[in-house]
Amino acid sequence: MQQLDQAVTTPTARDYRFELSIVIPVMNEEESLRPMIDRVIEAMTAFDRSWELILVDDGSTDRTLSYARSYLGREGLKLRIIEFQRNFGKAAAYQAGFDAAEGRYIVTLDGDLQNDPHDVPMMVRELEARDLDLLAGWRKARQDALVLRKVPSWCANYLIGRVTGVHIHDNGCGLKIYRAAIIKQVKILGGMHRFIPAWVASVVPSSRIGEIVVTHHARQFGESKYGISRTIRVFLDLLSILFFMRFRQRPGHFFGTIGLGLGLVSSLILLYLAYVKFALGEDIGTRPLLLVGVMLFLSSVQMITTGILAEMLTRTYDKPESYIVRATHGGKA
């Protein structure tokens, strides 16, 4: 039996600087930022463990970043600000926060004041009590527009559950808590922040993913950055996640299966035409079916060779970073 060169060990509580890291991506939230940070500080006052706050500024063009900097050095607040060079999207902001987090548990919140930080201590206790790796918030009494927000969300959650097999009510809720040792094994690609529970299910059993009803507030400032058009993007992203979940380690099977299917149809067509030509003596040079058979054969060869190339790339390609940090403000005291 082949032995592993290195043993994989699970980090212990001693390996983390904090018990909890709170990660909040923000972009152009100058009106919400200060009340949001104040609420986090208030909510964590009764939390008797160490914690840190990580703000990821996703290319804000207003005063969001300068407002955030004003909290640096505040007594009792361990704050770090990750400033992106430009807007890279929410998925990249999450990934940057996960990479930087030094807590045993990681909580994510939206920066628009709709999630309630007072739910965080309760979620930490619930995660531990139920021995979960991911506890997702469920905005059961969601304070959003029915047609533009709720209906697309219902459709998206239904599709995500059917495709991924991870059945939770509210994949889009920004309030989630993770075990850092688990979420750091997952890479959040562009636009895939909606499918984090599915990605987590690729490294742990789905039985270790749960949900809990959380408070949801109506948006107080600005406008939502998401609309009904995101339903189309969710559907397209679902196709990608289905491929990654089932064929990420064996893309040759995906392309090869299609190629063999096309090759089988092509062979049947060409065999039939060969019978017509040589057995019946009929002319086949002007038959459209001949062109179809040849094109299917060429497509079959293309799909099979694409599968071989995909297998080679899977084994050699080193994925680049999905974001670029301009600067990090605050740090270890």
pLDDT in tens, 273-294: 999 999 988 888 889 999 999 9
Q: Contact 123/135 with Cβ under 8 angstroms?
A: yes
Residue 171 has pLDDT above 90, yes or no: no
d(CA 58, CA 43): 24
Closest of 254, 252, 226 to residue 239, by C-alpha: 254
Sort residue 260 into left (φ over 0), alpha (ψ -120 to 50) or beta.
alpha
Token pair of 287, please? 């038959």
When comparing pLDDT for 264 and 205, which is higher?
264
Q: Where are the beta strands (DSSP E) in the chain?
A: 18-26, 51-57, 79-84, 103-108, 134-138, 176-179, 209-213, 325-329
Residue 30 has pLDDT above 80, yes or no: yes
**Residue 211 binned pLDDT confidence (cut-offs 50, 70, 90):** very high
Average pLDDT, the chain: 84
The SS3 call for residue 325 is strand
> What is the pLDDT, as a whole number, of residue 303?
93
Per-residue pLDDT of 172-183, as tens digits, reads 788 999 999 999
Residue 1 has pLDDT above 60, yes or no: no
Beta bridge partners of 108: 23, 176
Closest of 135, 124, 111 to residue 47, by C-alpha: 124
Q: Contact 148/222 with Cβ under 8 angstroms?
A: no
To the question of domain 15-247 being in CATH 1.20.1260.10, the answer is no
Per-residue pLDDT of 231-262, as tens digits, reads 666 677 777 777 776 777 778 888 899 999 99
Q: DSSP code of 41?
A: H
Measure Cα distances from 139 to 26, 119, 184 in Å: 20, 12, 25
- Global pTM reads 0.74
Tally of residues, the chain: 333
**Residue 3 binned pLDDT confidence (cut-offs 50, 70, 90):** very low
Strands 134-138, 51-57: pairing is: unpaired
Per-residue pLDDT of 110-155, as tens digits, reads 988 889 999 999 999 999 999 999 999 988 877 665 655 666 677 7
- Residue found under tokens 């207003």: 62
d(CA 148, CA 153): 9
| Domain ranges within the chain, ordered by starting residue | 15-247, 251-313
Least confident of 25-39, 196-210, 231-245: 231-245
